[in-house]
Each structure stands twice: as structure tokens, then as C-alpha cells.
Structure 1
Amino acid sequence: MVCNTWALEGRSMRSVMSILSGGRELVPNYECEPRGVLAGFIGDLTSDSSFITSHLTGLYHYPQISYGATDVMFTDRSRFPYFYRVVPNEGYIHRALIQLLKHFGWTWVGVIISDSESDYIKRELIDLITSNGMCVEFVYELDWNRWETVSWERIILKSTARVIIICVSKEKLFEVLAFTHGNSNLKRLWIMTVTSLYVDILDYDLAEILNGSLIFLLSAGDIAGFHDFLLSVNPDQYPEDPYIFAIWYIAFNCSLSQTPQMQNKTLNIIKLPSKDNITMTCSGNESLASVLHFQEIDLRVSYSVYKAVYLLAHALHLLLSHGAPTDKDQLESKLNPWKLNHLLRNVHFTSSSSQEEIYINDEGETQGQYDLKNLVMFPNQSSRIMSVIEVGSFNTLTPDQLIVNDSVILWHPDFTEVPQSVCSESCIPGYQKKSREVQFSCCYDCVPCAEGHISNTTDMETCIQCPEGQWPNDNRTVCIQKIIEFLSYEDPLGQSLAAVSVFFSLIVTSVALLFIKHHKTPVVKANNQTMSYTLLLSLTLSFLCCFLFIGRPQKVTCLLRQVTFGINFTLSVSCVLAKTVTVVIAFNATKPGSKIKKWVGTRVSIWLVLLCSLVQVGICLVWLISSPPFPDYDTHTYTGKMILQCNEGSVTAFYTVIGYMGFLSALSFIVAFLVRKLPDSFNEAQLITFSMLVFCSVWVSFIPAYLSTKGKYMVAVEIFAILTSSAGLLGCIFIPKCHIILFHPQKNTRSYITGKPLQ
């Protein structure tokens, strides 16, 4: 028995009850009239009508095989154990949609749905879109009972999404397209999902609007001989088929001679034109080939019906293969719905025409494939009929792979390239997303990465911090090695300081050699030779210790540089202090009755130098044991530079060494200043006073200069202080004596120094 339900729930219910009751009397749970043996139900086309049918047929465990219901709810086998379908559930088409959006980078879309499907769409499709990092600007629910052209156009015109997904039935698709007709401002890229594509969609005067759009369609296989049969069929061949008469009314606008009973059946199938408007009479021998063309015949639904029929037929064949029944009673007992349901789950065959494997999976449905079609109106077409180009495919057996052939897609002529539909342009490498104060995650601003951070791909949420020792390039797209900075011998500053150190070391050596050569002269003897030689040695070492500060910081050089500098300078200042004390003792020992004559000599000065130096050595040992200096690097002071330096370990110990030197220098300066007015024959005190003034001035200015510089310049400041203070001691104490020895030998006599003529 064939019933046309028009995909309406009410008609579906009446049709099922009519079949179960056996006639026109619709009495639940009763067979009012004799009927044939019932094996199962095939249909319906939509999910809503199939839902009604499944509740009625499921009461009697009859299998129902739908050829169009795609609602995901039917995959719940506990609720619908006897429901089957030969089309995939709509969850697959939603996955294909997501992959299509990702493929073209469309993250800003609108969605149009039917009001009857809105609950599922909102819950599943919208969540699926947003969970994949895309945003839905608007969701428009079509109400079949309301005419909302104005509100619809207002929403479209207000929206910025260039891609709109239409998830509605074919019938409601016309309603959507009707709203857009004739308004060029409503041009969008439409992505449609419908079960089948009918000719009336292509003929509809919407070519300008739909041109370049994409549509997912369920693939259709071949049905052997069906195409030829369809074009050759006529009412004379099937006089009892009301559907043939209905087709003739529509295709040829003519009437056929029918019995009243057949005419009523025909009218129940489809709303026919009034007979008053039909003036032509059909012969019944007309051919559909004259009004239909091969490309206009869409067999997608027909192929689904074909698969449904063959599934049930194969199950019946298996059920009846073991002994054919001889009468109706045996047939009814043989056709146990329980057995038939079990066999349906195990049927597995290959279609002879399309070579497709057909079977029911665990979700109660068959596998399927969707074709991605491109609706195109070619410029040279005389009519406004659109062409359909296949540009991709999606198979439910591999649901994570959407195949798209970009090269064959023809977009709307207004799009010079692949259409873009984003709320915000992608953030290029070197930038990161900064969310706007809106509800959509796809709407954001692009801000440059902070210093020390990079982004190496588009649309990064957060920038990546470069590791220590690396820094972003100018575009902040990749981390590069920082420029390593230290005071090296290749640096002109390092070379200059090294040259000055060598120069002054040679001068000190020359002075020492000059003193050794003239060690018997009064100028050399009168200046405490032991302290003079010790001071010259310490000055030489002080000049040479500058080389510990130049070059790449190493563990050994970091340990030695400050310690060597501190001990050498302490030795130098101790020698100056000892020379000053010697002058004081020598002057006071010449006074009558002086008790300090016994201190005249070199013992006091030697012990004083040893004592002062040992204190500094002790400080340095504590420093090296507790918190020694070590090689380190500074990556924060300068952008793009990594400063190799010696970390002093204990800053307190470092300033203690400097402070102790400052204390000895101040003490020497005070003592020398107090005896600065001694007779000219003892002018050593004046020279020491001036040298200590230079020394203290250098080191007092050193501290703020040292603290205000970084990197190699900080090292250069310390070297400069060492060279300057050492040169001050050399110049103030020894150069005047060298001048006398070399250029005024007449002053280098005992009588001149003592101020008494020789007897």
C-alpha cells in the first residue's frame, strides 16, 4: 500500500493507522478490513513525520526504514529499536560544514533554521561551530506561519557575516530565497544543506543571488533502468496508478479520462488545478521525455527509496529462504517482526548498479556520501537557469576528511578572490589577539607582542617568551641570539685601555730601573728605598691587573680581578702611608730630647705595610670563601643584548674592599696634610699630600660613575679609576724625583738636600 503523507505529521499518522487497520476505518489495535501480510514500513521523508510513524509502528515491532529522516535522535537505539534509515544523520553534515568553514577560514557566519528544528540546531550545530573557534553572528528562526520579509532583510543588511548557513527543508528554502530576491545588497555566500536538489530551485529567478553559493547534497547512485522507465512511462501502461495521472495533470496541463474512484485517489495525492482551467484533453500517450531532460531529473530521493526497498527485500529473502509458506497463515507466522528486525541488522549486500555496499550500522543507518556542489550561472548563458558543478565530497566512513577542489569553484563575480567572512582580520605573526569587550570570541584586536616575546603563527592567543640569551627580531616573529657584549680586546675601548696599561707599566719599570741605577744618590736614599721599590712593584701590578678586567669573563678571571686589584692597591696605599709616617718620624727624631729616635729606620714602615695588607687579604679570603665572584650574564639591561659580566657574589664584600682602601687613603691624606709644611728638604710630604688628593678624588667619583653604568662601560670605568689613581701616585711621588735625577743632577747632592755645604 502506498500513501502520500506530504511529509505532514497528521497525514503520516492517518496513513499508518490506515495500513494497520486494513482500510478506511481507523481503529487503533484492530484490523477492520482484510489486508495483505504486513512486513514493515518504508518512509517517511522528514524527521517529524518519521517520528510519529515510529511510535505507532514500534508498538507492534514492525521495522520502519526511512529514506529522508536525518535527526540525530534516531541514533538512540533504546528509544527507536525498530527504526532504520538509509541516509546518514545530520550530525555528519554538520561536521562537513565545520570542515568547510575551517578550509576557507570563515569564522564569522550567520545561521538560518526552521522553527521546528531550532532546539537541536541551537544545541548542537551552534555549539559545534563555537567550540571550533568560530562565531555565529545571528541565528534566524523561520516561522512558517509568519511573513517576515522586513525583519529578515533588516537582519541580513545589518550583519557583517558574508557567509550564511541555511539549515532548512527544501520547501522552506524557497521562503528564504524569496526574501532575498531582487535585493542586490543581500548578496552573501550561501551554504545550503538539503536532502535533494529539485529543478524548481535552479529555475527560480534567483540566479544573481545564488550565483557562487555552495550546497551539500546526498549523493545519488545509479538505479539500473529507472531513468529509461521514467521517460517512457504513460497512463495507458498503468491505468490503476493515481500518481501517473497526477504527473500528467502537472506536466501537460491536460485532463485524462478517469473513473470517479481513480479521480478521488488522484486528488488525494496532490492538489490539482481546477477542471474549469483545463481545456485540453490528454491522449495518455504523451512522453515525459518531451518535457524532462536528463540533467533535470534528481534521483537522490528515488535512490534512497531504492535502497530502503532493497534492504527490506533482502531481509525478507533471508527470512523466507528456509521453506516457502504455502498460504497466508503460514506467511504471517513466518513474517515475525522480531526475526525481521534481527535480519535487517545483519543484511549486507552490494548494489548491482552503483556497486555501493549497503548495510545497517550500529546507529541504525547506512553509510552515505555528500556531494559539495557549486551553483553557478555562466555569463554566456541565454537563460537564467543555474548550473551545478561538483566541487567536493564528504564520506561518512571518513568523517574527518572533507575533499574540496578549490580550483573548480566559481565564486560570485563580485568576489575577486575567495570570499572572506571574519569579524576581525587574522593577526599576523608578531601580534597577538586582544579580546574586545563583546560576547564574540572571534572579534578581537591585534596588538604587538611585548618586549622579549614573539608570535610565530597567525592568530596567536598569547605571545611566547624568548628563552634566556635570546631576543625577538624586529618583527617579533622569531627568537634570535642576543648580541653578546663584554669588554673585549677586539673592542677599540678595550684595546685603548690595554695599551694605556702597558704604557704605564713600562713607565713604572723605567722608573724602577732608574732608581736602581741611581740607588746611591741622595734623592733615592732620602725616600726610603724599600718602600719606594715596594710601591713601584705594587703600581706595576696594579697597572697589569687591568688585563684581568678585559676579555671574556671566565671563572678564574672573575675570582682574581677584584681580589688582585684590592690587594695591590692596598699595598700601594700602605706604602704611601708608611712613607708618610717615616717622614713624620724622621722630622720629629731631629728635635732635641726626642724619644722616637729608636723608631727611625725601615722596620716601622715594613710592619705597617704588612699589617695593612694582611687586613685586606683577610677580607678577600672571607669574600672568596663565603660568596665568591662568578661569571654571569645580564639579559634585562639592554634590549637585544646579553651582557657577559662577573657577578661580584657579595656586594657587601666588594664595597668593604673598596671602603678599606678608601680608609687607608684618607688616613694617608690626613697625615700627609698635617706635615705638608715641613722644610723643603723634606718635601716628600707635599708630594704625598697631592698624590692622595688625586687618589681620593678619583675613587670618590668612581662610586657614582660605577653605579650608573652597565655592561662593558662599567668595567671600563673601574679600569679607568685604577689607571688614573695609579698614574696619580706615580706622577706625584716619583716623577719629580726622576726629573731631578735626569735633568738637575746638581740637586741630587747631600748638601743640597740637607741644606748644609760640604766641609
Structure 2
Amino acid sequence: MVSDPHPPLHEYHQTGHLLVGVIASHSLIIPSPLEFTAKPPPALFEELRFCTGNSIKTLKQLYELALNCINQTRSKVFTPGDRCSVSSVPKNYQHILALVFAVKEINENPRILPNISLGFHIYDSYFTARWTYYVTMLLISTPERFVPNYKCDRQNNLIAVIGGLDADISRYVAMILNFYKIPQLIYGPAPVMNDKTPGLSFYQMAPNEDVQNAGILALLLLFRWTWIGLVVMDNDNGERLVQTVFPMFSQSGICFAFIEKIPQYTFVNEINNMLHQGDKIVDKIMKSKANVVVVYGESYIMAMVAWSAFFLEPEHDTKKTRSKVWILTAQGELTAFVFQRSWDLQIFNGVICFAFHSNDLPAFHQFVTSRNPSDTRGDGFIMDFWENAFGCVFTNRFLSEIKGDICTGEEKLESLQAAIFEMSMTGHSYSIYNAIYAVAHALHTMSSSRFKQRRMVDSQGWTLETHHLWQARPLSLCSEICQPGSSKRVKEGEPFCCYDCIPCPEGKISDQMDVNECYKCIDKKYPNRKGDSCIPKEISFLSYEETLGISLAFIAASFSLITALVLGIFIKHHNTPIVKANNRDLTYALLISLLLCFLSALLFIGHPVKVTCLLRQTAFGIIFSVAVSCVLAKTTTVVLAFMATRPGSSMRKWVGKRLAYSIVFFCSLIQASICVLWLANSAPYPDVDTHTLVEEMILECNEGSVTMFYCVLGYMGFLATVSFTVAFLARKLPDSFNEAKFITFSMLVFCSVWLTFIPAYMSSKGKYMVAVEVFSILGSSAGLLGCIFSPKCFIILLRPELNKRKKLMRKKN
């Protein structure tokens, strides 16, 4: 028994009772030239002990070079000296999505294969024979154990294989599957059969090429395009097409100005030499008088033509390129490699492309739109596809310095040009979609035939009991089957068939029977109580639509209105002694800042966005600092005024508005500087917290720097403490209306609120943390408003006889 030492770079696996294998064509391995300076060593063989217990010799490691190359690509860091690199065709990722979407529909449809789930295992062929043979052998081997021609257990319930995209890839797959009698459904053109590959069987989902040839001929005759060029691939399939098309077109009066063969991509073929040959071909096409070019070839042929026409020969006149009419077969649709993402594909402005039949499926469009690299479990293609399609990188995939744009996962697939990725289902994708349904309906017909009790045997010889036999118990088990919501735990000292079923631990689930381990839900979901499925988390934030949010907003609006009324009263009675006492301008500034404090609480309610996140803490900190600075200035004014009344006091020069204004300005300036420093270095931003609460996703404003947040609070607390101390010392100064004692009470309330805020804030979670801060803002602001201004309003409105200068001045006893 051996494990595969070089697992494929790209694969996508989903478990199920029955598995469908898929050979996709998504990426190309591009090797650098190799120089041989010495004779290679003799072939190496190694002894392996298989699960049968027999010790035999393995085959020569034919895939060693390709495996090493793929291993190297895992680092994602390439230099000019690298031996290989990987370049993907992002448009082909839709083929994978079409298969996943079809399997999802079938599994959710109770009328097809009830109580039987379909799974799949997708591997990338990398467009090469070497890798196609290798991954095909992986499909028919025991999972996670590459033992060719052996299956050590019954977990690999493979029933069919879908692939490949190009004719040669399909032929390589068929050569392996033919020995095992596993059905193969291909979604590209039929491979060429020769003496070496007689009698290979497969089911072709795409229409026959003869119909397409007749359509191209009819198009040429319709527009009287009788002088044309022909481009094919330099392989068996291209040779067959020339032998078929040439006499057919010639008999109808079509003449060929040239017939060019583009070299086929292979792993050992150097990419630069191959493209250099393609460049010569394109140069000949451009110089020809034939303005119509018919292109037959593999799926990537137009990407190679684009390379030669646009990149390798910059001296080409692009106007000549645009003047050509390109006629493409359905197989050679307009695609682009990742490095051609930003190229001007207008050079193929006159392309007429035949297409396989497709269908517009709205559900598929929604499925593709919802695809996101952050919540797609098991998909080994999506990360590379996302990086290549959008020209960015994910930070968690690199250990070295990152160069280029960072992938957020929020990029929109709709923004990609059609040559890179299409949102609507293409012909190839629709063929894959139909292939999956063909397999499902065939299995359903077998299982629902009139012989309900007969057994269904797959192509590997593994026996599957139908639902009726399953319910009958013709079963022989050491342990009961573990239901979803539990996992297996092997019993010590007993065979692996004997196990206990244990419930999934908290935070994990299992949605299949007899699983070895439970797994965690993605960040945006949480386990249900049974532990057998994941439930989407609810979005949580302090909203205007809930009782708590609307209550706090109502309180903030009410206090804002009260503050505005108090300000109006003071402006109306601005010439009265009680308003003029202790600097009337400071009183106005304090009332305005309190009004803004109440309004700033509204920034904390509602959906967090970038603007509100930037303003929440900074606006609150600056406005509150202005308010407390005004209180400190008023307190200082009271103290200095009484100290200046002493004979010969030197404090008289400090009494006046200039000192008060200076205190407000400089104290507020320090807080503003802290906030500017905060915004410049680590500004707050909208964020989603998926970990704090199990059943909710919290939309919040990430403070960016917790240290700066507490610096703002700390400075505000420092100002409040100083103001409280000064007011406390001045509370017994003689005066019928000594404002210092009211300021003492107000600052006592202020400090009490914010001292209780910190433990309450730290012990709260989600929207309740925001609610605690809003309550603290409203409570401390209301304390200042009530303690300082309610006595003054009482005298102004209800006891106007006390609002006289002689009543406000009283000498010491």
C-alpha cells in the first residue's frame, strides 16, 4: 500500500454514494528548455507492497518529470531560472461549475435517484498525455492511494467518467477506461481512431463534426468566399480534417490559398519554439490575399494565434489583422490565456464562431454569481482561477513578499471580458450539464426497473444495493451505520469495520453517513442542533428597524431637541446676568457641542459603511473634548475670578475671555491631533465578524487600532478628571449662584458613566457593544446638560426675580 507522493495541483472532490469522474482542461504546464550535459541514469524501479500483501515490481515512473514540475508550481514563486510554470485558461473554469451545478440540482431533486447522492472527483489534464494518463489512473485507484490496477477498499464507487475537452485528451482517457469497461462521456470532438487504438468506446455529447463542416461550406458559398485559408492543428485530428474538408470544399468551388498546421502543445515541447512557429504561420496569413481564414483546432488554438499576431511580432499591421474574417469551429471558441487578459482582442473583430447548442439557465447564472473563493469547500481550482482572472493574489497563499494587487474575494465575475470568462452557459458547459443528467437518468432507470430487488453493479464490479434492499436490512455489518451528525471512532483492538458512532463535537457537522471525521461549517454558516447541516448565519447590527436601535435614536433626537430649546432660551435672554455670568460665549459653545454629542450617537446606529466608520469615534471624541474643554474653561474662569478679587492679586491679568478661549482651543486641538494620527495610520473600516457569535454575522466598524481608540477615551477622561478636580475645589466659593458646584455634579455623573462604560463594553458582544457606547454618550451628555443648565433654566423661566445682578453677588460673612 502506497500513498500518492505527488498529488495533483488542481482537483475538486465531493463525496457521494456514487462518484462521477471528470477530466477537465483548465491549465497548461509550460516548461523551460532543458539542457542535457551527461548521459541519463538507467531507469529506476522500486519495490512496493500492495494491500494484497504481495511484493511486486512497479512500472517505471513515467510521470516523474511532470510531477516534479507540478510540485514546483505549488510555491507560486517563479524566476527566470524556473523549470516550469502554469498558465490557465480561465474560461474553462465554467466547465467545472456546470458539472457542480448539475450534481447539485440532481441531489436536490427528489424525483431523480432518491436516497442516493451523486459525488464527483475532478482532475486537471493540463492538456498533456502524461498528466491525462496519470489522473485517469488516479480516478480508478483507491482514494488517496495511487496503486494502479488495485483497489484496497470499496470507497471508490466510480460509475462514469466525463472528458475530455480536446480530441486527444478524450483518446488518452478512453485508452485507460477501455480496459476497465467504465463508460466515458466526452463533451468535445470525437478522437481519431487508428491501428493502435481500435474499438475505443465513448459517448459523444457534442454534435457530429460533419454537420458543422456542411454549415461552414454553406456560409462560404452564401457570401461567395471562394479564396480562403485553412488553419488546423498539426496532429492526427488535423490531418483527418484536411482529408475530409479539402475534397468536400473543392467540389463546391472553394479554393485554398494556404493550408497551415499549428504545432500542438505538449509537455516536452518548448513553448517559445512552438509559438515561434505559430508566428511564422500568422505572418504568412497576414501576407496572403485570402481575407477569409477557416480555423479548425483545439480549444486553445485562438489564444495561440492571438499570441503570434499581437505579441511576438509587434511590427504586424493590426489593421490587416482586423480585415481578416476568421471562421472558427465550435471547439476553437475565442479564449485567452491569463497573460492575455489585458490584450486588445479587437484584432479578431471579424470572428464568426460556430457554437454547440446551449440553453439559458437563470439558476446557473445565479449559481455562478454566488461563487466566492472564501466559501467553496473542496474546490482546488477556484483560487488559481480567481487570481489569474482578476490579476491579483491571495495573501494567505504566499510566504514571500507579495507583489501586485491583493484579491479580496469580492471581485465581480460579471466584469470579466468574454474571452476570459462568460456568465451564460457555453456550449461545452451545456454538454457537460447534459452528460451528468444522462448518467443520473440512466442510473435512475436501472434502480427503478420492475425488478426492484435486483442489484445494481457499476463498471468497477462494486455491488450497490438499491433502496429497497437497504431498507430490508440481504446487510452484514459489524457496527450500525453512523447517521449524519455523527462520525466513526474505531474500536481499539478490533478490525476497522467495527466502530462506534459518536456525535459531532460542538461547532462541527457531518452531512453524510459513515464519515470518518466531522468538519466545520464555513464562516458564514453554523451547525444546526442535530449537527447534520449548516445554517446560514443571520446578519446582525444595531438597526433603526429594531426596538433597541429606534429607542436609542429617539432618545438622541429628544435630547438634541431639548438642547436646541435651551440654546434658544439662552439666546433670547442673552442680556440677563445669569446668561452673561462665566462667559456667555463659552455657554453657547458648550450647548452647541452638547447638541452635536447627541447627534453623533446616530452615527452608531444603522448599517456600517466607510463614512460612518471613519466618523463614529473621531467625531465623538473631538466633540466631547470640546464640551469638556468648555466646562474646564468655565470652571477655571470661576476660580480665577474669585482669586483676582483679593487685594494685590497677580491673577487679574489672567482674568478674561482670552484664557478661556485658549483652554478650549488647545485642549480640543490635542484630541483632534490624536484623531488625525489615528485616521492616517490605521483608520476604522467596515468589517464582518463571523466568529464572536455562533448564529450571527456581526456587521461592525473595525476600530483599526484599539490603542488609538483607548487613547481618545483616555484623553477625554483626563480632561474630565481635571475639570472635576478644579470644580470640586471651587464648589464653596461665595456666590448666590456658584456654577462650580453644578459643574462638580455634572462631571461626577460624566466620570461615573465612562468608568462603568469600559467593563460593560468589554463584556458585551455584537450590536450590544455599540448600544453600550451609544448609551454612554447619551448618558454623559445628558448629565452635563441637566446638571449645568437645568438650574439656570429654572431661574430664567420660573424665578426671573433672581435673575438680577444684586442677587448673584454676595459677600463673605
TM-score (norm 2): 0.43
Question: Is the radius of gyration larger for structure 1 or structure 2?
Answer: 1
TM-score (norm 1): 0.46
